[in-house]
Amino acid sequence: MTSSSPSSRFGRLLILPDPNAATAAAARLIAQTIRNDARAVLGLATGRTMEGVYARLAAMHRDEALSFSGVTTFNLDEYVGLSASDPNSYHHYMRTHLFDPVDADPARVHLPDGAAADPGAECAAYERAIRAAGGIALQLLGIGDTGHIGFNEPPSAFDTRTRVVELDEATRRQNAPMFGGDPEAVPREAITMGVGTILESKRLLLLATGPAKAAILAAALEGPVTPEVSASAIRLHPDVTVVLDTDAAAALSPAFTARATVAD
Ligand code: GLP
């Protein structure tokens, strides 16, 4: 195991041998945050990649008394037009994968309301709620095929706030499997935290696994820092941990991965 230099562009780059090891490492970082501060404010993400993270956290709740009862959470995004009870909503995803299996306090969990009558007002209220909670201590991030974090589709300026966005066709294709395989069934819009909102979190944790993420990760981590790839914005943040499996890391240059902590 080799250690990354503290002066590297990221606080840490971890490359693990497979998706299980990568999701376990991400779950451990989240658990550590909660163990250090039982009232931590966490930013959470959805997507297939995160299911393993939440399964690990649920196991730690069951087997190691990891408690979420004092933890406040803010999710990155939600589809416009889906109510909290819709099985395809991120509300439903979060209840299924994390909130129900652990002891989350419903009063402390937050997702944007995709069915809000006034989405603009909902976005402003979401920003206010994050500020009122004292800001996000650790924000978990995945990456979409378009390079998005949250649903910040290209181009997303780095000072954007929580807002309604139109989803890219590529994103609707990527997420079609959750909607019976039909991209047209995926909502056209979503509410997402902005890139500026995300960058205000004290710490960022980006997790990606699998070969499908390799090219966009290389663009985000080694290409230009640009609103065309919103994940590239994480390079402007002073405290970032990137956790990858070897497949997701495959297109990174040897010079870049040389800074990584590689576990086998
Ligand atoms: C959705 C979410 C993103 C997430 C992405 C990755 O688009 N809005 O926050 O990063 O899915 O999904 P997956 O993990 O399924 O590849």
Sorted by sequence, the CB contacts under 8 Å of residue 118 that are 6+ apart come out as none
- pLDDT grade for 237, boundaries at 50, 70 and 90: very high
When pLDDT is averaged across residues 127-152 and rounded to a whole number, the result is 98
pLDDT tens figures, 181-222: 999 999 999 999 999 999 999 999 999 999 999 999 999 999
- pLDDT grade for 261, boundaries at 50, 70 and 90: confident
Give nearest CA residue, ligand 1 atom 12: 47
CA 22 / ligand 1 centre spacing (Å)? 16
- Helix, strand or coil, per DSSP, at residue 41: strand
Asked which of 13-22, 97-106, 255-264 is least confident by mean pLDDT, the reply is: 255-264
When pLDDT is averaged across residues 153-161 and rounded to a whole number, the result is 98
For ligand 1, is residue 150 a contact (CB within 6 Å)? yes
CATH value at residue 122: 3.40.50.1360
Judge whether 168 lies within some domain: yes
For ligand 1, is residue 16 a contact (CB within 6 Å)? no
pLDDT tens figures, 74-111: 999 999 999 999 999 999 999 999 999 999 999 999 99
Judge whether 136 lies within some domain: yes
Q: What is the pTM of this model?
A: 0.95
CA 186 / ligand 1 centre spacing (Å)? 13
Judge whether 3 lies within some domain: no
Judge whether 43 lies within some domain: yes
d(CA 85, CA 224): 40
Judge whether 242 lies within some domain: no
Judge whether 114 lies within some domain: yes
Tell whether the model's pLDDT for residue 178 goes beyond 70. Answer: yes
Tell whether the model's pLDDT for residue 154 goes beyond 90. Answer: yes
Domain containing 39 equals 12-234+251-262
User: Which of the pair, 89 or 11, is modelled with greater confidence?
Assistant: 89
Judge whether 6 lies within some domain: no
- pLDDT grade for 3, boundaries at 50, 70 and 90: very low
Report the mean per-residue pLDDT for the chain: 94
Give nearest CA residue, ligand 1 atom 3: 150
User: Which of the pair, 2 or 194, is modelled with greater confidence?
Assistant: 194
User: What residues are labeled active site?
Assistant: 77, 148, 153
CA 47 / ligand 1 centre spacing (Å)? 4
- Helix, strand or coil, per DSSP, at residue 97: helix
Query: How many folded domains does the chain comprise?
Result: 1
pLDDT at 259: 80
Point out the ligand 1 atom lying closest to the alpha carbon of residue 208.
14
Judge whether 244 lies within some domain: no
